[in-house]
Chain A
Amino acid sequence: MSEAAALGLQPLRENGWRAGLSPLMRAGFGAWWRTREWWTQALLWTVVINGSVAVAIWGDAPEGLGVFGLYGVMTMFAAIAVAILMQDEIVGEKRSGTAAWVLSKPASRDAFLLSKLVPNAVGVLATMIAIPSAVLLVQTLLAGVEVSVPRFALGTLVPALNLLFYLTLTLMLGTLFDSAGPVIAIPLAFAFGQQLIAGIPGLASVLPWALVVGTADSDTSVTGAIITGQPLPAPAALLTTSLACAVFVAVAFWRWRRTEL
């Protein structure tokens, strides 16, 4: 009898994509919720998003930008932060050798990638969208701004989708490249480049940018329109962004299964 069996430990017999998922997920969620990561991010984005909105509500609001329009714009900064935060998730582990170490255990490649995708998605959505959005709701109610809570809840899913776009893009790039340069440069170039091409009518309405910021086609973002009950200015952006996220995830899994470590 082995020493472990003598202690009462049972060997795990997980197969297929689930192999190693439990410890990897525990580690992934632990990196957010058992460290100071969650509260520093939550504090930072509450200050950035809700501080700006507070100025709009109780101070001098920017011309032509309502409370919810400003909220959408500020979440764009969070999306850029997601790309910066995620840049090292895969590339860093490839370069340091921790990915090879982890995958020398009976863990599947899919489980490894899921443990990067799911805990980070939950972490960024909770700290950069859910908490600041809850505070925003309280702010608007205190300020007497009329808002439908169900529409507000639905509207917050749109910047969440925008964040997921940058998260999945950065993770995919991490599987494709071996250095951090392109992994951070491409999402940032895309994020800022949209500002330029968002001025082109037609094209603007399919970009993720239209989800949270007004474009040449409409002064109102998709987020602002949903919360305030207006017609959607760029419904195609919801579809293209969702599709892009799905493609990024599929490419990441395809590539990661073939990566040599």
Chain B
Amino acid sequence: MDLAVQTRGLSKSYDGVHAVDGIDLEVPRHSVFGFLGPNGAGKTTTMKMLLGLIRPTSGSGSVFGLDIAADSPGVRGRVGYLPQEPRFYPRMTARETLRFAAGFFFSGPAGALEARIEEMLELVGLAGKADRPIKTLSGGETQRLGIAQAQIHQPDLLILDEPAAALDPLGRRDVLAILEQFRATSTVFYSTHILDDVQRVSDIVCILKDGRIISQGPLEQILAGGSESVFVAVVEGDVQRARTTALDQPWVTQVDVDGDGHSARMRITVSDAEVGAARLQRLLLADETLVVTEFTRPSVRLEDVFVDLVEKGADDE
């Protein structure tokens, strides 16, 4: 897999307390990677280690193959970063802030630079407020300026720390639309608390708790509770025989039955979602004595999975 970010045992401790504890991240190129976790899970610390702002206590990491410790300037040249609650120089306007940010990456004709700045201002909807001092911008406008400055050099990787946290629903919608646009040219690595947003735009999700990864993988896999998937069938007939038939299949891992002996709701867990989708309903219908009145694959909300995983992690401790 072609990776934008990879870490191995990346750790950070403060006075013996692990803020980040041996994480192995794998962020594929051109993915929108949602980095989730409760407050204090270590998301911001991880992002700052990738950027060379904080030194890892142990472990290693690379961004596009560049070592985050030894090649930090090279890494930062290919990354655009939006800090959590971004603050810029209040004496500057939005346009001056973008000009300042662009100065780290480009040289060339002033007209071309101004054209790029104008393009970014248009993208984030700040063209009309470009020459106002930053201190007059609202929280949402400052956040959008933060996205524009992170994207000014069209980086290969965008690291966005809570990009939609301070925004109202309309602002969030706009930010998500902007993230979608970046997918074509960049890898987006972002942290958030807003799980509905993650479900809308992310390809890959990583859930962090107390500095450790408790789940990482494609969104569908996380929603399915790992590689397993669940189907629900409401049946009438010989429920016990149907249960035994299902359990005889090597790809069925668990069958829970709720109901009386003649009519029941079966919750069938399969090890391979694709095989389950292709064969399970057919298997049940093959028993002519059984009436299948309903067969569904219930959708799962990321929020439920997140709460389950985080609470399970807490119970395990």
> Which residues of A pack against B, CB within 8 Å?
2-4, 7-12, 15, 19-20, 22-23, 26-27, 31, 35, 96-98, 100-101, 103-108, 260-261
Complex Cα distance, B155 from A2, in Å, reads 10
Complex Cα distance, B245 from A172, in Å, reads 76
Task: Judge whether B116 and A9 touch: CB under 8 Å.
Answer: yes
Q: Which residues of B contact A97 (CB under 8 A)?
A: 83, 85-87
Classify chain B: how many residues form its interface, as a range: 35 or more
Complex Cα distance, B89 from A31, in Å, reads 10
Interface hit among B99-107, B168-176, B194-202: B99-107
Complex Cα distance, B113 from A22, in Å, reads 15
Q: Which residues of A contact B115 (CB under 8 A)?
A: 7
Given A23-B100, A106-B104, CB of A7 within 8 Å of CB of B116: yes
Task: Judge whether B83 and A4 touch: CB under 8 Å.
Answer: no
Instruction: Give B49's nearest chain A residue, CB to CB.
Output: A260
Task: Judge whether B112 and A7 touch: CB under 8 Å.
Answer: yes
Residues of B contacting A: mostly: loop
Complex Cα distance, B147 from A101, in Å, reads 12
**Could you say which of A7, A19, A23, A97 has the most chain B C-beta atoms within 10 Å of its C-beta?**
A7
Chain B contacts with A in 27-68, Cβ cutoff 8 A: 48, 51-55
Q: Which residues of B contact A15 (CB under 8 A)?
A: 73
> Which residues of B pack against A, CB within 8 Å?
48, 51-55, 73-74, 76-77, 79, 81, 83, 85-89, 91-92, 100-101, 103-109, 112-113, 115-116, 119, 153-154, 185
Task: Judge whether A101 and B108 touch: CB under 8 Å.
Answer: no
Complex Cα distance, B88 from A35, in Å, reads 16
Q: Which residues of B contact A27 (CB under 8 A)?
A: 89, 92, 100
**Could you say which of B105, B115, B119 has the most chain A C-beta atoms within 10 Å of its C-beta?**
B105
Given A31-B91, A96-B87, CB of A104 within 8 Å of CB of B76: yes
Complex Cα distance, B91 from A257, in Å, reads 26
What would 15 A/B residue contacts be, using CB atoms closer than 8 Å?
A3-B116, A4-B105, A7-B108, A7-B112, A7-B115, A9-B108, A12-B105, A12-B107, A23-B104, A27-B92, A98-B88, A98-B89, A100-B83, A105-B101, A106-B73
Instruction: Give A100's nearest chain B residue, CB to CB.
Output: B53
Q: Which residues of B contact A2 (CB under 8 A)?
A: 154, 185
Given A8-B112, A260-B54, CB of A106 within 8 Å of CB of B105: yes
Complex Cα distance, B104 from A106, in Å, reads 6
Given A9-B108, A19-B73, CB of A261 within 8 Å of CB of B53: yes
Complex Cα distance, B51 from A97, in Å, reads 14
Instruction: Give A259's nearest chain B residue, CB to CB.
Output: B53
Instruction: Give A95's nearest chain B residue, CB to CB.
Output: B87
In the assembled complex, how far is the CB of residue A81 from the closest CB belonging to chain B, in whole angstroms? 19
Task: Judge whether B76 and A106 touch: CB under 8 Å.
Answer: yes
Task: Judge whether B48 and A100 touch: CB under 8 Å.
Answer: yes
Complex Cα distance, B89 from A98, in Å, reads 7
Task: Judge whether B87 and A98 touch: CB under 8 Å.
Answer: yes
Complex Cα distance, B53 from A2, in Å, reads 27
Complex Cα distance, B52 from A106, in Å, reads 10
Q: Which residues of B contact A260 (CB under 8 A)?
A: 48, 53-55
